[in-house]
Amino acid sequence: MEKEILEKYEKAGKINQEVKMFAREQLKPGVKVLDLAEKIEKMIIDKGGGIAFPVNISLNDIAAHYTPDIDDTLTLKDGDLVKVDIGVHVDGFIADSAFSVRLGEKSDILIKAAEDALEQFIKEIRPGKTVDEMSKLIEDVVMSYGVNPVRNLAGHSLEEYTQHGGLSIPNGHIPSKEEIKEGQVLGMEVFTTHGEGLVKESFPTLIYMLIQPKPVRLRESRKILQLAVDKFKTLPFARRWLKGIGSTVMLQLALKELVDREVLIEYPPLRERSNSLTAQAEETIIVLDKPIITTRS
């Protein structure tokens, strides 16, 4: 990896660390999820980073992809199992990390299982390891706690301006001989649950990403498309970032047109299929003989 690129990954990671520490301190009953998300995203910008994706603040059986909506009133409460997933980029080079907290509890078995599985992954990951080996390791560690991995979620490679690259390392074992290469950058995330261990798409969709520009009919659709091309590029963006483009009804019609025309792709919230609690742990890893964890001091 070129020195300049490594420095950008490390800078993004440093910002991510600082923002993550701040976010953890804010998790208290009574905090509005919208206020927290806006503070986190503002801090990323203030520290010189770019927002790689809308901050995910997913509660309880929602495993991922919940970011607050415009005027969202959702508030944290005692007992919530909160996942906070933060993405920072520097010139498109991404640091992606997540943590979980059970409000009002000192510990939680789901969080312990996710964190331990991630730690064991970090200890074992080296160039030449296979997806088979590493997915089995995740599954074995998680199940040793008497809980289940979320099998249709996965760690993933990170590429320039691309949050989900071509490599996937599922939380459940798959017999793949694909090798993990030197210099690959992974957003390795582990999800755990007491439930069935699968997620399904839920609603409402609050995160979108540009696929390709195409002609669209609505004026609001054209405004969203221009904003996506100029500002968001190939990174995900939040519906709440589009506030002011039009009325609530017209904004929803415009987003529907863009999705129907295959200009945008949707990322709906992912809910555990048996409605069970989920936990998440994630760090960004540069795969070397001595791996670099950019999101950890």
Tell me, yes or no, if 257 is annotated catalytic.
Answer: no
Query: Tokens standing for 70?
Result: 């415009």
The one-letter amino acid at 176: S
Measured distance CA(297)–CA(288) in Å, rounded: 17
Residue that is written with structure tokens 């503002």 in the block? 42
pLDDT score for 47: 98
Q: List the catalytic residue out of 96, 115, 220, 272.
A: 96
Tell me, yes or no, if 156 is annotated catalytic.
Answer: yes
Tell me, yes or no, if 65 is annotated catalytic.
Answer: no
Q: List the catalytic residue out of 41, 220, 282, 283.
A: 282
Q: List the catalytic residue out of 69, 156, 257, 272.
A: 156
pLDDT score for 96: 98
Measured distance CA(138)–CA(118) in Å, rounded: 7
**Alpha helix (H) ranges present in the chain?**
3-26, 33-46, 109-124, 131-144, 219-227, 248-260
Tell me, yes or no, if 85 is annotated catalytic.
Answer: yes
Q: List the catalytic residue out of 85, 257, 272, 283.
A: 85
Q: List the catalytic residue out of 164, 194, 196, 266.
A: 164
Q: List the catalytic residue out of 115, 189, 257, 283.
A: 189
- Please give the domain boundaries of the chain with CATH numbers for all domains: 3-201+270-293 (3.90.230.10), 207-266 (1.10.10.10)
**What pTM does this model have?**
0.96
pLDDT score for 12: 98
Q: What is the pLDDT along the chain (297 residues), one digit of tens a residue?
A: 899 999 999 999 999 999 999 999 999 999 999 999 999 999 999 999 999 999 999 999 999 999 999 999 999 999 999 999 999 999 999 999 999 999 999 889 999 999 999 999 999 999 999 999 999 999 999 999 999 999 999 999 999 999 999 999 999 999 999 999 999 999 999 999 999 999 999 999 999 999 999 999 999 999 999 999 999 999 999 999 999 999 999 999 999 999 999 999 999 999 999 999 999 999 999 999 999 999 998
Residue 251 three-state SS: helix
Query: Tokens standing for 145?
Result: 């706690």
pLDDT score for 297: 83
pLDDT score for 106: 87
